[in-house]
């Protein structure tokens, strides 16, 4: 389907040209024989610079970067970079748009980021251009190292830089979509027939908030392992460290792995299949206290599991609660690795200590405490509860990304697909299931929701990929088929990655599950 905004972008092109000349903007250059698309116009923003560089067969200045990504065979494309600002914020937002010269499939694909980065650039653009998409990525104007630490979060006076936070939370993907559609229309002489967004983790969150805030931007949204309720999730990611801090005990990764092996052995068959995977972590009730007194071999040493170890594991699996016992968010699913969130380290001298997940620790240091150098290893239950309340109250409206009212997205004809690994050790799949249920309540039930939003849960799969279970192979193709041909997917072909031999399978539409004979029931 075509959206009115695509036609509007084409109609604005003459006006954009006149505005650009009138304000004396920097002229577009095009080395490498790259055509010069007209400059775009974006209400509330000012274009600072725009350039275009031809990349014949993916070579040129980007060759070394592309080669590191295994980008051989990238078709010739025009690399368009736009720099804009939102007066009076004084930000400098970079948008990069790759336009295939002769292999364009008529579609636009906006791509999301990861962790505290708004965009992945080459990592996301290479596969998109290979498939014929005109593709875009943005840095949201966040200076410095794209992943961490988020030095951009604080102004010089120590206050939160709300403008850049808004960029990261929701504004920049919307800006990117509006800019890219105009440039595409000018470059090819016609607008993109269909517009898609793809992202996982932070990118998944960006996809959700697009459907919630800007329902007309995309025909299809692929929002995988979305960081729903970011302001609560990031605190839940820090919860394992709080539990260990409070107990004064920091088990090794080897000890944590012993609990997971025992949980898998106890719950493997809950889904009717013995495959070394917990297919139903929601029904797994393995009690970690069953390992108390047993021994495990770790790096040549024999370690006896204590009741303190078991209590730490139980609290991590249960998830964060207030001191009064009220649930605050979900916990690590049984079967998921402890290494990301319950990491520990042993210095040469001194006791073992916690090694927190950087995104969670930085969210606390910069956005909640506004103390970048704070030692978070002292945070216990009382301070955690206070910080959780601050994060929920201060940032929910900005970056919560969990509004279940998708009526405008449905009315615009949009389709959204989400898949999530059930052994995700970073973003808990219970959050995706909980959001889907809330959408059902707001949108008229499961059947009505399935008409425009479908969720797929992948047993044994980790964060965005990996793990011991089969992950969806090409969910974007399924989304395209749904948007353009009306064929809503009930299952996604799946396969493991990095295992020998590879295991193929299917991932079923929620709430169905795959059976041993590869059917969904």
Q: Which residue has the tokens 């600072």?
A: 48
Q: In this structure, are residues 104 and 174 in contact, taking their beta carbons and an 8 Å threshold?
A: no
Residues near 339 by beta carbon (within 8 Å), at least 6 away in sequence: 253, 256, 425
**CB–CB of 343/355 below 8 Å?**
yes
Contacts of 140 (CB under 8 A, 6+ apart): 93, 113, 118, 119, 164, 167, 168, 171, 172
Alpha-carbon distance 84 to 50, whole Å? 9
Q: Which three-class secondary structure state does DSSP give residue 321?
A: strand
Task: Please report, in angstroms and rounded to a whole number, the separation of the first and last CA atoms in the chain.
Answer: 31
Q: Which residue, chain included where needed, has tokens 């206050």?
A: 159
CA 210 – CA 174 distance, rounded (Å): 7
Which single residue is written with the structure tokens 């009212």?
Answer: 405
Q: How far apart are CA 483 and CA 411, in angstroms?
A: 14
- Could you write out the DSSP letters of every residue in 280-296? -TTT----GGGGTT-EE
* Distance in angstroms (rounded) separating the CA atoms of residues 376 and 152: 20
Cα–Cα dist 155/420, whole Å: 36
**CA nearest neighbour of 376 among 244, 196, 191, 207:** 244
For residues 247 and 232, what is the distance between their CA atoms, to the nearest angstrom? 23
Contact (Cβ atoms closer than 8 angstroms) between residue 52 and residue 80: yes
Residues recognised as catalytic: 201, 424, 463
Residue pair 372/380 in contact (Cβ under 8 Å)? The answer is no
Residue 266's Cβ-count burial label (10 Å; 0-12, 13-18, 19+) is middle
Rounded to an integer, what distance in angstroms lies between the CA atom of residue 246 and that of residue 251? 13
Tokens, residue 286: 């393995």
- Quick one: three-class SS letters along 52-117? EEEEHHHCHHHHHHHHHCCCCCCCCEEEEEEEEECCCCCCCEEEEEEEECCCCCCEEEEECCECCE
Element (DSSP H or E) covering residue 44: none
Pair type for strands 415-421 and 220-224: parallel
> What is d(CA 71, CA 78) in angstroms, rounded to the nearest whole number?
16
- Structure letter (DSSP) for residue 240: H
Say if CB 284 and CB 259 are below 8 A apart. Answer: no
Nearest to 118 by CA among 36, 20, 203: 203
């Amino acid at each position: 389907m075509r959206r009115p905004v695509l036609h509007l972008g084409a109609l604005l092109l003459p006006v954009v040209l006149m505005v650009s000349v009138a304000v004396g903007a920097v002229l577009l250059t095009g080395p490498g024989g790259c055509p010069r698309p007209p400059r775009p116009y974006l209400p509330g923003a000012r274009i600072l610079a725009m350039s275009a560089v031809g990349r014949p067969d993916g070579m040129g200045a980007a060759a070394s970067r592309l080669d590191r990504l295994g980008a051989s065979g990238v078709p010739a494309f025009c690399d368009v970079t736009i720099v804009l600002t939102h007066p009076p914020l004084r930000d400098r937002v970079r948008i990069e748009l790759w336009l295939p010269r002769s292999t364009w499939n008529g579609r636009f694909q906006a791509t999301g980021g990861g962790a505290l980065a708004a965009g992945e650039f080459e990592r996301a653009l290479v596969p998109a251009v290979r498939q014929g998409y005109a593709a875009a990525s943005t840095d949201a104007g966040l200076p410095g190292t794209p992943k961490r630490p988020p030095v951009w979060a604080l102004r010089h006076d120590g206050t939160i830089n709300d403008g850049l936070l808004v960029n990261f939370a929701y504004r920049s993907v919307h800006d990117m979509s509006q800019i890219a559609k105009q440039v595409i229309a000018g470059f090819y002489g016609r607008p993109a027939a269909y517009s898609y967004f793809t992202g996982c983790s932070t990118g998944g969150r960006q996809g959700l908030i697009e459907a919630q805030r800007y329902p007309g931007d995309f025909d299809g949204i692929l929002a995988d392992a979305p960081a729903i309720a970011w302001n609560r999730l990031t605190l839940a990611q820090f919860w394992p460290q709080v539990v260990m801090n409070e107990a004064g005990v920091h088990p090794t990764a080897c000890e944590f792995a012993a609990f997971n092996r025992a949980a898998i052995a106890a719950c493997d068959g809950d889904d009717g299949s013995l495959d070394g995977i917990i297919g139903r972590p929601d029904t797994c009730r393995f009690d970690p206290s069953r390992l108390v007194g047993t021994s495990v071999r770790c790096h040549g040493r024999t370690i006896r599991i204590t009741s303190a170890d078991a209590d730490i594991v139980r609290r991590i699996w249960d998830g964060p609660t207030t001191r009064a016992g009220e649930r605050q968010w979900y916990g690590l699913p049984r079967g998921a690795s402890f290494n990301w969130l319950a990491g520990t380290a042993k210095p040469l001298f001194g006791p073992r200590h916690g090694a927190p997940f950087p995104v969670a620790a930085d969210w606390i240091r910069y956005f909640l405490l506004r103390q970048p150098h704070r030692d978070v290893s002292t945070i216990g239950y009382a301070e955690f509860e206070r910080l959780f309340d601050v994060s929920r109250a201060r940032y929910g409206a900005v970056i919560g990304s969990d509004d279940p009212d998708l009526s405008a997205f449905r009315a615009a004809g949009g389709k959204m697909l989400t898949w999530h690994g059930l052994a995700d050790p970073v973003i808990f799949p219970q959050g995706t299931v909980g959001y889907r249920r809330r959408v059902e309540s707001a949108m008229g039930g499961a059947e009505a929701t399935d008409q425009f939003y479908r969720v797929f849960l992948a047993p044994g799969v980790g964060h965005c990929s990996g793990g011991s279970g089969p992950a969806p192979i090409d969910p974007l193709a399924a989304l395209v088929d749904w948007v353009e041909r009306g064929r809503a997917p009930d299952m996604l072909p799946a396969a493991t990655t990095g295992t020998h031999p590879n295991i193929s399978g299917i991932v079923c539409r929620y709430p169905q599950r795959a059976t041993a004979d590869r059917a969904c029931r």
